[in-house]
């Protein structure tokens, strides 16, 4: 089984050197593809979260750099484009990783060869992402099978599905594989305030694939675990430190605490590219603070079917909007990667690194 | 210092036997008082959450019973009115408690004397609530002082302020007392999805009293504690079991877990009337499930300043909406009551009961 070819977040037409992405700020209310045709459009797509999710941010940035090199392949333009793309989001490490992959390759080439090589590299990163996510799905499926249940209630947070990658997803890949293998899967989708990636993106994505799911408030996730209604939690990661600390969408830490308190296994699914080997522990990861309006206002469909932005708090209210939190490694049972499953610890990650360097 | 007389959620005019409440579904966008002039209006005010908060629900129901007895003081009418009011909300125990207080009194009286006695009793419960909440504030202030800080960052959840009682509040009473005593207080207000009582009611209420506060998503409360930015958590309680388990607005349990993991004191402030002595442990408390539309839709002010209801999820999405959760007693450091502060345990509550019965 493969996730349908329709279920893909970024399209690349090699013939026309053209990149299109789903504008995720419009989901779940309408499915709109955006043609990215300038460096500004690529940067805006990332910073305004038309594309989001650590892997997809990285791939989009790689294509953005290729686009910029098509317009101007000079060292100066390369540096400027890389800096502009790097500045769009601070927390996910894939952005830096993907830009580095493309930059290092093209810096060694004469300017006239750079654009073609960059497009080619971006496309290879895109295909690698698809293959890696499918392997994460297979490795995760083995863990889900080991729980020994015919019906699985899996909780997830934010969106770490194919909308956060190119295809398959990270946290959702094992769920798609489990469904295909005949396990009766049901997903608890936490809405993920303030941007509602759970209710807006994950629930929509699971519905496209026919996976039964129920939206719950972030607040109710502890209660559901206490009631024994959750068999495991699977989330993604925006950046993983070398000691196994996981930086992911804010609210992940609370779910990990509740999972531990209620003996519910807590898994993080991530491609190796989200590991920051230079980061000793999670406290070193910069936590993005986004605009307070994301907390004080919310967008949705009004009764006429128009997208409408409404204010929730009294005028003059102030909010703090930290987009991520850090879950300490000791609350994470297993890291599910494309290379297999590893303990969330310095030792576990050393083992992973050894496997990678041995290849 | 007293909280200003303006800051009161329920007005009672003895001369006209008239009850008015703030319609809290309109806050923070507009302050509208509703005249409750029929049993149906009292029931609707509670079930539609125009009034909410365990203590205020109880007082409103007591006035509702008095109103019903004015129209018909017979035993049949008394039973019907009591049943109708009791059915409005299942979790808060004050509703049952307040109805019992009035019923037991009037049952012993001939029908012609019942209405006047019921109005009088409801008004006494109202005044007792104000006095009890002020004592909770004073007892809580002693605990806050014992933290030995000049500046206190206090986290709260939902609304347990004067909007949830008649005046002062439970969880917010110690905060008002702390501010008045010169402590530099700042409150982290968690927005409290799905109904946003934090961003909509608590932030508004604190602003009315000039207490600095910052709204945060429910998701970010763990992170703030990990960052050392929270000195203590104070919440209210809708029902407290005889072993000290606390049933409160859903999301309370996650905060209690995070507080314990980060050595942040976690307090529950409650009048004795919210203790269900017949309830051995929290698992026996019925958890209200409200309509899924509260999770799938949200109301706010649109750009024209009109109240507008918007959909957050794809059509066809399903949600589960549990309104409360249970925090096990061992995660609660102290119960702050009008009788003093007690350990959240069977032993602590036995001590409280002894004090009450000795009076």
For A104, phi then psi, to 5°, come to -60, -35
Residue B269 has pLDDT above 50, yes or no: yes
Crossing angle between the packed helical segments A54-71 and A75-86, to the nearest 10 degrees: 150
Whole-number Å distance between alpha carbons of B21 and B34: 5
Contacts of A248 by beta carbon, 8 Å cutoff, 6+ apart: A157, A158, A235, A236, A237, A238, A268, A324, A325, A327
On whether the CB atoms of residues B300 and B307 are closer than 8 A, the answer is yes
Q: Which of A285, A306, A312 to mutate to test binding with chain B, by most B CBs within 10 Å of its CB?
A: A312
Whole-number Å distance between alpha carbons of B51 and B59: 10
Measured between CB atoms, which of A219, A253, A309 is closest to B193?
A219
pLDDT one-digit tens code per residue, A8-33: 899 988 777 789 999 999 999 999 99
Whole-number Å distance between alpha carbons of B116 and B136: 30
Chain A residues closer than 8 Å to B299 by CB: 310
Cross-strand pairs, B246: B240, B327
Give me Rg for the CA atoms of chain B.
Answer: 20
**pTM for this entry:** 0.94
pLDDT one-digit tens code per residue, A179-217: 999 999 999 999 999 999 999 999 999 999 999 999 999
Chain B residues closer than 8 Å to A295 by CB: 191, 199, 215-217
Whole-number Å distance between alpha carbons of B223 and B310: 29
CB contact under 8 A, A313 and B213: no
Q: State the smallest CA–CA distance between residue B145 and chain A in angstroms.
A: 26
Contacts of B148 by beta carbon, 8 Å cutoff, 6+ apart: none
Give me the residue label for tokens 């001369």: B15
Q: What is the DSSP letter of A245?
A: -
Q: Which of A255, A306, A309, A314 to mutate to test binding with chain B, by most B CBs within 10 Å of its CB?
A: A314
Q: State the smallest CA–CA distance between residue B61 and chain A in angstroms.
A: 28
Whole-number Å distance between alpha carbons of B244 and B352: 11
Q: State the smallest CA–CA distance between residue B116 and chain A in angstroms.
A: 40
Give counts: helices (H), strands (E), chain B.
Answer: 12, 16
Chain B residues closer than 8 Å to A308 by CB: 302, 308, 310
Residue A65 is predicted with a pLDDT of 97
pLDDT band at B18; cut points 50, 70, 90: confident
pLDDT one-digit tens code per residue, B119-150: 999 999 999 999 999 999 999 999 999 999 98
Contacts of A164 by beta carbon, 8 Å cutoff, 6+ apart: A9, A52, A53, A54, A55, A56, A158, A170, A236
Chain B residues closer than 8 Å to A207 by CB: 314, 316-317
Give me the residue label for tokens 């910052």: B214
Q: Pick the catalytic residue: A129, A238, A245, A333? A: A238
Supply angle C-alpha B116, B119, B123, rounded to 5. 140
On whether the CB atoms of residues A223 and B250 are closer than 8 A, the answer is yes
Q: How distant, in Å, are the alpha carbons of A118, A329, B218, B338 from that of A158?
A: 31, 19, 14, 42
Residue A226 has pLDDT above 80, yes or no: yes
State both tokens at B119: 């109005």
On whether the CB atoms of residues A11 and A56 are closer than 8 A, the answer is no
Chain A residues closer than 8 Å to B300 by CB: 297-298, 310-312
CB contact under 8 A, B310 and A300: yes
Residue B173 is predicted with a pLDDT of 98
pLDDT band at B93; cut points 50, 70, 90: confident
Residue B182 is predicted with a pLDDT of 95
- Judge residue B5's burial from the number of C-beta atoms within 10 Å of its C-beta, 0-12 exposed, 13-18 middle, 19 or more buried: exposed
Whole-number Å distance between alpha carbons of A7 and A5: 5
Whole-number Å distance between alpha carbons of A8 and A12: 11
Residue A14 is predicted with a pLDDT of 78
Q: Which of A313, A316, A331 to mutate to test binding with chain B, by most B CBs within 10 Å of its CB?
A: A313
The three-class DSSP label of residue B324 is strand
Compare all CA atoms of chain B with the CA of A30 and give the residue at the minimum distance.
B314
Whole-number Å distance between alpha carbons of B229 and B155: 10
Whole-number Å distance between alpha carbons of B37 and B14: 14
Q: What is the DSSP letter of B288?
A: P
Residue A133 is predicted with a pLDDT of 97
Length of chain B in residues, anyone?
359
Q: State the smallest CA–CA distance between residue B62 and chain A in angstroms.
A: 31
Structural domains of chain B, ranges and CATH numbers in brackets:
10-130 (1.20.120.420), 147-357 (3.40.50.10470)
pLDDT one-digit tens code per residue, B277-314: 999 999 999 999 999 999 999 999 999 999 999 999 99
Residue B4 has pLDDT above 90, yes or no: no
Residue A3 has pLDDT above 60, yes or no: no
On whether the CB atoms of residues B92 and B239 are closer than 8 A, the answer is yes
- Count other C-beta atoms under 10 Å from residue A127's C-beta: 14
In chain A the beta strands, taken as DSSP E runs, fall at 10-13, 18-22, 33-36, 151-156, 184-190, 213-216, 232-235, 239-241, 246-249, 266-269, 275-276, 297-301, 307-311, 324-327, 334-337, 340-342
Length of chain A in residues, anyone?
359
Mean pLDDT of A155-177: 97
Q: What ipTM was estimated for this complex?
A: 0.94
Strands B232-235 and B297-301 come out as unpaired
pLDDT one-digit tens code per residue, B227-268: 999 999 999 999 999 999 999 999 999 999 999 999 999 999
Q: How distant, in Å, are the alpha carbons of A17, A65, A128, A164, B203 from that of A13?
A: 6, 16, 17, 20, 50
Measured between CB atoms, which of B295, B309, B318 is closest to A191?
B295
Task: Tell me whether residue A238 is one of the annotated catalytic residues.
Answer: yes
The three-class DSSP label of residue B319 is strand
Among A213, A131, A162, A168, residue whose Cα is nearest residue A51: A162
Measured between CB atoms, which of A213, A251, A298 is closest to B300?
A298
Give me the residue label for tokens 């007892």: B139
Q: Which of B27, B226, B284, B312 to mutate to test binding with chain A, by most A CBs within 10 Å of its CB?
A: B312
Residue A1 is predicted with a pLDDT of 41
Q: State the smallest CA–CA distance between residue B31 and chain A in angstroms.
A: 11
pLDDT one-digit tens code per residue, A232-253: 999 999 999 999 999 999 999 9
Residue A295 has pLDDT above 60, yes or no: yes
On whether the CB atoms of residues B335 and B341 are closer than 8 A, the answer is yes
State both tokens at A124: 């290879």
* Mean of pLDDT over chain B: 95
Residue A2 is predicted with a pLDDT of 44
Residue B3 is predicted with a pLDDT of 52
Whole-number Å distance between alpha carbons of B179 and B176: 5
Compare all CA atoms of chain A with the CA of B205 and give the residue at the minimum distance.
A314
Residue A6 has pLDDT above 80, yes or no: no
State both tokens at A107: 């810096």
Supply angle C-alpha B306, B311, B314, rounded to 5. 160
Task: Give the rounded percent of residues in chain B with a pLDDT score beyond 90.
Answer: 93
- Judge residue A55's burial from the number of C-beta atoms within 10 Å of its C-beta, 0-12 exposed, 13-18 middle, 19 or more buried: buried
On whether the CB atoms of residues B170 and B177 are closer than 8 A, the answer is no
pLDDT band at A322; cut points 50, 70, 90: very high
Compare all CA atoms of chain B with the CA of A320 and give the residue at the minimum distance.
B216
Task: Give the rounded percent of residues in chain A with a pLDDT score beyond 70.
Answer: 99
Q: Pick the catalytic residue: B231, B238, B276, B325? A: B238
CB contact under 8 A, B310 and A298: yes
Chain B residues closer than 8 Å to A161 by CB: none
Task: Give the rounded percent of residues in chain B with a pLDDT score beyond 70.
Answer: 98
Q: State the smallest CA–CA distance between residue A199 and chain B in angstroms.
A: 5
Whole-number Å distance between alpha carbons of A166 and A173: 12
Residue B1 has pLDDT above 50, yes or no: no
CB contact under 8 A, B309 and A302: yes
Among A321, A46, A314, residue whose Cα is nearest residue A195: A321
Residue B16 is predicted with a pLDDT of 76
* Mean of pLDDT over chain A: 95
pLDDT band at A4; cut points 50, 70, 90: low
Whole-number Å distance between alpha carbons of B198 and A304: 29
Q: How distant, in Å, are the alpha carbons of B8, B9, B168 from that of B33?
A: 11, 9, 19
């Amino acid at each position: 089984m493969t996730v349908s070819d329709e279920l893909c977040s970024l399209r690349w037409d090699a013939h026309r050197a053209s990149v299109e992405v789903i504008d995720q700020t419009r989901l779940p209310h309408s499915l709109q593809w955006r043609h990215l045709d300038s460096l500004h459009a690529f940067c805006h797509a990332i910073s305004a979260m038309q594309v989001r999710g650590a892997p997809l941010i990285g791939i989009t940035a790689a294509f953005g750099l290729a686009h910029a090199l098509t317009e101007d392949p000079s060292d100066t333009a390369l540096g400027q484009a890389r800096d502009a793309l790097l500045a769009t989001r601070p927390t996910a490490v894939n952005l830096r990783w993907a830009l580095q992959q493309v930059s290092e390759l093209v810096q060694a080439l004469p300017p006239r060869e750079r654009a073609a090589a960059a497009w080619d590299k971006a496309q290879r990163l895109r295909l690698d992402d698809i293959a890696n996510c499918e392997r994460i799905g297979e490795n995760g499926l083995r863990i889900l099978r080991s729980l020994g249940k015919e019906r699985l209630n899996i909780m997830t947070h934010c969106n770490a599905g194919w909308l956060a990658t190119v295809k398959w997803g990270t946290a959702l890949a094992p769920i798609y594989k489990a469904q295909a293998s005949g396990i009766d899967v049901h997903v608890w989708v936490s809405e993920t305030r303030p941007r509602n990636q759970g209710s807006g993106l994950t629930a929509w994505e699971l519905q496209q694939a026919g996976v039964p799911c129920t939206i719950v408030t972030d607040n109710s996730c502890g209660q559901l675990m206490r009631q024994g209604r959750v068999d495991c939690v699977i989330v993604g990661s925006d950046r993983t430190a070398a000691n196994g600390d996981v930086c992911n969408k804010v609210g992940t830490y609370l779910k990990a605490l509740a999972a531990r308190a209620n003996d519910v296994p807590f898994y993080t699914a991530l491609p190796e590219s989200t590991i920051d080997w230079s980061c000793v522990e999670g406290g070193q990861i910069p936590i993005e603070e986004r605009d307070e309006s994301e907390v004080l206002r919310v967008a949705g469909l009004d009764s006429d079917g128009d997208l409408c932005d409404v204010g929730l708090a009294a005028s003059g209210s102030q909010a703090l909007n930290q987009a991520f939190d850090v879950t300490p490694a000791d609350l994470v049972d297993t890291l599910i990667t494309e290379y297999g499953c590893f303990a969330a610890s310095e030792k576990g990650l050393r083992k992973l690194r050894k496997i990678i360097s041995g290849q």
